[in-house]
Chain A
Amino acid sequence: MPYDDLRAFLDALDEQGQLVHITEPVDPEADLAVAANAAARMGPDAPALCFERVTGYPTGRVAVNVHGSWANHALALELPPTTPVRRQVEEFSRRWESFPVPPEYREAPPFLAHTLHGDDVDLYSVLPLFRLNAHDGGFYVDKAAVITRDPADPGHFGKQNVGIYRLQCKGRRRFGIQPGSIHDIARHLRSAEERGEDLPVAVALGNDPVISLVAATPMAYDESEYELAGALRGAPAPIARAPLTDLDVPWGCEVLMEGVIKSRVREIEGPFGEFTGHYSGGRRMPVIRIDRISYRTDPLFEHLYLGLPWTEIDHLMGPATCVPLLQQLRAEFPEVVAVNAMYTHGLVAIVSTRSRVGGFARAVGLRVATTPHGLGYCKVVIVVDETVDPFDLPQVMWALSTKFNPADDLIQLPVMPILPLDPSSDPAGISGKVVLDATTPTAPDRRGRHTAPVQDLPGTGVWLEKLRGMTDRARR
């Protein structure tokens, strides 16, 4: 049964022992962020945390680390919490095959329970805002779905974008927003600003877990995140019309903020501890004016701690980055078997493929770097044989150790585009890229001596199961 809102998912996490309720009083700083940081260090079955009593916020409840482990990521997709990572990515990919699944418009969204308009809007009263990292420029909202339409084609449902962008609270009804140049929202904003118009925007906070996953997925420009949500849920995603902007928004969100990105305005923003594990900031970025805020009774403030990887964001973006890359590569190269682009949103990507002809693997590697997502990421691409599991890093290291010859198998690409947040880019937004071909050469490429590989002995699989059963029994 798919989750229609965050509350239903938290109940499911609770039942599975994957949610810790913190009922003791905590201070906004630094307790909340420190606890979320600590949760990220708990490993593959780390729980979500829900703080019930935050000093100075009488009704404020804060949920963090909701997607912050492989167990919780599996549960978001309604898989058993012990599902291996590769299996989760495969299931994500399998469900994508049924894309697009049209959403379902529902009436009476619960966020209409309370509304504030115009100068009565007060983000500080509705949201228990707090600082994440010590040198952040302020209090951020960093796990909300931000929804905009293409001003040049407002009737195109697929071009309506649902994405997660960092939002710095700059006043009672004012946010700074970071729309990265390669992101869809930047296209919408450019189109509006060329016309000299404000861009209507809706910010939906505290969503069902699949909305957060699709909002973190780098989809093609004209593909709808809601139609992917339907495919991942196996049922249409429930959406509603936003009362002020008429944008399509998640029906079950806790808080809906509506307004505009002000045309042709830029204002200093940041710094902010980013998913790269470094602070970024010191740039002038666009500004949102909130004109209406709607919220459920005692809304849950869902927040995401990010800092030195790995944290929640790596789980949220990991499979969501692998799958579109896999889909896009397979569209042209059906030989591609699997993609592991879970490292810092795909700054490093590992691809396994069968080789059609000599040199094929490096052609695949170059294509990775020129996919829409690869344009801003995929700085290091490692290509391995189809027999190597890209999610099994010891196997990948074996392939690099024995298949890769730096004399010929390293393809360097100078002066390529990269997201400006990459701290090694110089100038910001420009970087070299590299493809490491760690596949076995295919004729007519006959370099090296790879003709006599050792393989697991016949019957190893049978003995593996037998030995596992014996050790399990001995441990009981």
Chain B
Amino acid sequence: MICPRCRSKSVETVKVAPGGAWQVHQCTCCWYGWRNTEPAARTVPERFPEEFRLTRQAITDAPELPAVPPLARPVHADAQGAGDER
């Protein structure tokens, strides 16, 4: 099975309904989730809408929200740094 959105093979079946009425799958590459009983436009790669598909590059290049901040320097490191500047 491949992900209908990013075509990754990293897909897990995360839930099977008691009685087997449906299965939920989850892509661990683009994190798309779907139920096998949904329409083809949500479950079949060839039918997935072009504007909502994702490539590896798009996943990597996506902006961060919120951006990861720089690590704060510990207080003693600040003191050391100040000494260095002198």
Q: Check B30 against A181 for contact (C-beta < 8 Å).
A: no
**Interface majority SS (helix, strand, loop, mixed), chain B:** loop
Interface string of A194-219 (1 = CB under 8 A from B): 11100000000000000000000000
Instruction: Assess whether B40 is interfacial by the CB under 8 Å rule.
Output: no
Instruction: Assess whether A283 is interfacial by the CB under 8 Å rule.
Output: yes
Question: Which residues on the A side are within 8 Å of B52 (C-beta)?
Answer: 135, 271
Tell me how far the C-beta of A292 lies from the nearest C-beta in chain B, rounded to whole angstroms: 19
Question: Which residues on the A side are within 8 Å of B31 (C-beta)?
Answer: 137-138, 168, 170, 176, 267-269
Which of A116-157 touch B at CB < 8 Å? Answer: 122, 124-125, 129-131, 134-135, 137-139
Instruction: Assess whether B17 is interfacial by the CB under 8 Å rule.
Output: yes
Q: In the bound complex, how far is the Cα of B25 from the Cα of A171, in angstroms?
A: 9
Known: A264-B68, A268-B31. Is A134-B22 also a contact (CB below 8 A)?
Answer: no
Q: Check B69 against A194 for contact (C-beta < 8 Å).
A: yes
Question: Which residues on the B side are within 8 Å of A432 (C-beta)?
Answer: none
Instruction: Assess whether B1 is interfacial by the CB under 8 Å rule.
Output: no
Q: In the bound complex, how far is the Cα of B38 from the Cα of A186, in angstroms?
A: 35
Q: Check A190 against B65 for contact (C-beta < 8 Å).
A: no
Which of B22-72 touch A at CB < 8 Å? Answer: 22, 24, 26, 28, 30-35, 37-38, 41-42, 49, 52, 54, 58-59, 62-66, 68-72
Report which of A56, A122, A189, A195 forms a contact with B66, defined as CB distance below 8 A: A189
Q: How many residues of B contact A (CB 8 A)?
A: 37
Report which of B12, B18, B38, B72 forms a contact with A58, defined as CB distance below 8 A: B18
Report which of B5, B15, B21 forms a contact with A125, defined as CB distance below 8 A: B15
Instruction: Assess whether B19 is interfacial by the CB under 8 Å rule.
Output: yes
Interface centre among B5, B14, B38, B72 (most CB of A within 10 A): B14
Q: Check A181 against B65 for contact (C-beta < 8 Å).
A: yes
Tell me how far the C-beta of A309 lies from the nearest C-beta in chain B, rounded to whole angstroms: 22
Q: Check A124 against B24 for contact (C-beta < 8 Å).
A: yes
Q: Check A171 against B26 for contact (C-beta < 8 Å).
A: yes
Question: Which residues on the B side are within 8 Å of A28 (C-beta)?
Answer: 22, 35, 37
How many inter-chain residue pairs (CB < 8 Å) link A and B? 102
Question: Which residues on the A side are within 8 Å of B22 (C-beta)?
Answer: 28, 55-56
Q: In the bound complex, how far is the Cα of B5 from the Cα of A271, in angstroms?
A: 12
Q: Check B26 against A194 for contact (C-beta < 8 Å).
A: no
Known: A134-B41, A137-B31, A271-B52. Is A190-B71 also a contact (CB below 8 A)?
Answer: no
Instruction: Assess whether A169 is interfacial by the CB under 8 Å rule.
Output: yes
Q: How many residues of A contact B (CB 8 A)?
A: 47
- CB-nearest residue of chain A relative to B65? A283
Instruction: Assess whether A282 is interfacial by the CB under 8 Å rule.
Output: yes
Q: In the bound complex, how far is the Cα of B58 from the Cα of A391, in angstroms?
A: 44
Instruction: Assess whether A285 is interfacial by the CB under 8 Å rule.
Output: yes
Question: Which residues on the B side are within 8 Å of A179 (C-beta)?
Answer: 66
Tell me how far the C-beta of B6 lies from the nearest C-beta in chain A, rounded to whole angstroms: 9
- CB-nearest residue of chain A relative to B29? A268
Tell me how far the C-beta of B39 lies from the nearest C-beta in chain A, rounded to whole angstroms: 8
Known: A170-B31, A176-B31. Is A268-B62 also a contact (CB below 8 A)?
Answer: yes
Q: In the bound complex, how far is the Cα of B47 from the Cα of A459, in angstroms?
A: 67
Q: In the bound complex, how far is the Cα of B69 from the Cα of A286, in angstroms?
A: 12
Q: Check B66 against A284 for contact (C-beta < 8 Å).
A: no
Question: Which residues on the B side are within 8 Å of A267 (C-beta)?
Answer: 31
Question: Which residues on the A side are within 8 Å of B24 (C-beta)?
Answer: 124, 129, 139
Question: Which residues on the A side are within 8 Å of B41 (C-beta)?
Answer: 134
Question: Which residues on the A side are within 8 Å of B30 (C-beta)?
Answer: 137, 268
Q: In the bound complex, how far is the Cα of B57 from the Cα of A124, in angstroms?
A: 30
Instruction: Assess whether A409 is interfacial by the CB under 8 Å rule.
Output: no
Question: Which residues on the B side are within 8 Å of A285 (C-beta)?
Answer: 64-65
Q: Check B21 against A56 for contact (C-beta < 8 Å).
A: yes
Instruction: Assess whether A57 is interfacial by the CB under 8 Å rule.
Output: yes
Q: Check A29 against B38 for contact (C-beta < 8 Å).
A: yes
Q: In the bound complex, how far is the Cα of B63 from the Cα of A178, in angstroms?
A: 13
Question: Which residues on the A side are within 8 Å of B28 (C-beta)?
Answer: 171
Instruction: Assess whether A172 is interfacial by the CB under 8 Å rule.
Output: yes
Tell me how far the C-beta of A113 lies from the nearest C-beta in chain B, rounded to whole angstroms: 21
Q: In the bound complex, how far is the Cα of B75 from the Cα of A75, in angstroms?
A: 52
Question: Which residues on the B side are within 8 Å of A170 (C-beta)?
Answer: 26, 31, 33
Q: Check A283 against B63 for contact (C-beta < 8 Å).
A: yes
Q: In the bound complex, how far is the Cα of B71 from the Cα of A194, in angstroms?
A: 4
Q: In the bound complex, how far is the Cα of B66 from the Cα of A170, in angstroms?
A: 19
Ordered by A's residue number, 8 sampled pairs between the chains whose C-beta atoms are within 8 Å are: A56-B17, A131-B42, A134-B42, A137-B30, A170-B31, A176-B31, A268-B54, A285-B65
Nearest 9 interchain pairs by C-beta: A56-B17, A138-B33, A124-B15, A194-B72, A56-B21, A283-B65, A266-B64, A170-B31, A181-B66
> Can you add 20 more A-B contacts, CB < 8 Å, to A180-B65, A189-B66, A283-B64?
A28-B35, A28-B37, A56-B19, A124-B15, A124-B24, A125-B15, A137-B5, A138-B26, A168-B33, A170-B33, A171-B12, A172-B14, A180-B66, A181-B66, A193-B69, A194-B72, A195-B72, A268-B31, A269-B31, A284-B64
